[in-house]
Structures are given as structure tokens and as C-alpha cells.
Structure 1
């Protein structure tokens, strides 16, 4: 079983890296990652993925020391329903971008909608739907995600200063 798990990790990481515009050192994927051809995705150093789909037009920038649970969905862009030439929406597509800073942890089954910034040290709880920016060191959860509380910022900064990643 251990050999199968290592092979799966190797293949998933290989597929991930070939879908990225840029990536840092020590980037790995334990499960399959699917990135649409229209999405431009870059990833920093020491990032771990556990199953993700990035769909639509736009860009995703993920910082260093990012970790995710399983089954993450990032939706970039949306159809123009206000000024479209057809119902329910027109053929034009509005690209959107997502920025995820350093030291962010995203739980399983999370949906992130475009034009969102998840700031440094944030934690997104399992099953959340993120449609607005998340402040630094905030712990958010729910549909739509709201601030539950904040990390101990002094402890976070101490660990960061000591290089405890």
C-alpha cells in the first residue's frame, strides 16, 4: 500500500506541476488536481495539495507554505447575466482572480469564488464558501464564510520568526 501511495503522490505532483505557470520548491499533490486551460496558476514554495479543481478564466496566485484538505473548488470568472445577449446569460465571460497568501490552511470541501484575497495565516474551515476577502490570521467558516475568531497573532509571529513552518 505504501508503494501505491508514493506512486499516486508522484503522478499527482507531476500532473500538477505541468498545469502550473510557475511553482517553487517542494510542491506536492497527494491527490489529483485539475486546472482549466484558461486559468493561470502559480504556486510558492512548500505547498501541499490534497485534491483541487480550478475552473474558469483568470488567475490564482498561491503563496508559500500553503496546505489544503480534499475536494477544494476555486471558481474563476462568471458569465455576464446583466448585459448578456441571451437568457439566462450572455456569451461573454468575466475573468476573476484569487490570491492566497503565505501560511494559509484550507480545509476540505471548500469553495472559493473569484476576486477573493485570502491573507497570510488565515484558516478556512471545512465546507466553507469563500466569496469575500479573508483578513490576516482570521479563522473563517460557513456559507458564506464569516470570521469565527482570529489566531493568536503574537504566537503566529513568534513561530514565523523562528522559522517553524
Structure 2
């Protein structure tokens, strides 16, 4: 009986993954090989999202006006939010904000890992090999190989760069 239940659970997971990946790819401007999603992402129609090769999404929400460029070997946790441009409150024609929008972009380099419940504000560049900890709110650029966390996200420490480069050269990703 247990094998039967596990069989159906496995079939359900595979079906959910296939459907989620299909809807992810339909919402992207471009994508590489081996891109997958564990649950259906929510990407605003006014957002332009490009994804590299071997990327895995476990829950993604992209809102606002602008673009997102994600490199290769990216992995996200659940409930990752990328907030792009918003209403222009500085030079708007009304209070609290006007009818004009600001355009913001996010660039995420290769080998980046975003934990669960990460929020990224617009005009951010996350460097190669960076790790963003659970619940972090990224409001400024993240240097390569940095491990950041908190609200606002701050550098906690850096990865062992020599080990990272060694694994990268050996193709272990």
C-alpha cells in the first residue's frame, strides 16, 4: 500500500513540476536549457525576464516595470520576490504617487543561490557565486562570492573563493 501511495505522490510532483515549468517558460523573454520550476511563478506582463541555463525556481514573483537577467546555475528558494520599478513618487503629478512609473532592472550573475522569502528591490546587481540568506531584503548590490542576510541585507561573510573556483574549473555544478 505504501508503494502505491508513493507512486501517486511522485506522479503528482512530476506533473506539478511539468506544468509549473511550462508556465514559467511562457512568461520568460528567453531561457536556456534545463530550466525548471517547482510551482507556478507569477511574472508581471510588463516585466522582461531572461534566464540562463540550468536554473531552478521554487517560487518566484516578479512585479513592476523593468527587466531581470538571471545567469546560469541559479537556484531559488520558495517565495522569492523581485520588485522592479514602481510609481514615481518624487516627480509624480499626485500624492502619494503619480501616474508615471520608474523602470528598474535586476541582474543576477551565475551560480547564485537565493534562500526562501528573499525580496530584491530594483536596480540591483547580485555578483557571481553569491548566496542570499532566508528572509533577506536586498536593497543594494551584492558583491561576488558574498553571503548576505538581514533587512537590509548586509555581508555576513564570503565564500571560500579558491574552493569555489576549483569546483567551477572541474565542472562540478
TM range (shorter): over 0.9
Match for 1:135 among 112, 133, 143?
Answer: 143
| 3-state DSSP of counterpart to 1:59 | strand
Deviations, residues 34-67 of structure 1 (Å, cap 9, x unaligned): 1100000000000000011000100000000000
Aligned match of 2:70: 62
In the alignment, what sits opposite 2:132? 124
Of 96, 99, 106, which residue of structure 1 is paired with 2:104?
96
Question: 5 Å matches for 1:1-165?
Answer: 1-165=9-173
More helix by share: 2
Q: Please report how far the alpha carbon of residue 70 of structure 1 lies from its aligned counterpart in structure 2 after TM superposition.
A: 0.1
**Two-structure CA RMSD over aligned residues (Å):** 0.4
Partner deviation per Cα, 1:102-121 (whole Å, 9 max, x = no partner): 00000000000000000000
Unaligned 5+ runs, structure 2: 1-8
- SS in structure 1 at match of 2:27: coil
Using the size of structure 2 for normalisation, the TM-score is 0.95
How far apart in 1 are the matches of 2:165 and 2:147? 16
Q: 1:147 Cα deviation (Å)?
A: 0.1
Q: TM-score, normalised by structure 1?
A: 0.99
Q: Which has the larger radius of gyration?
A: 2
Name the SS for the 1:78 alignment partner. coil
Counterparts of 1:38 and 1:78 in 2: how far apart (Å)? 11
Deviation string for 1:13-50 (max 9, x for gaps)? 00000000000000000111011000000000000000
What's the CA shift string for 1:121-151, capped at 9, x where partnerless?
Answer: 0000000000100000000000000000000
Counterparts of 1:11 and 1:42, CA distance in 2 = 19
- Between the aligned partners of 1:84 and 1:158, the Cα distance in structure 2 is 51
Q: 2:154, 2:91 → 1: CA distance? A: 31
Structure 1 unaligned residues grouped into runs of 5+: none
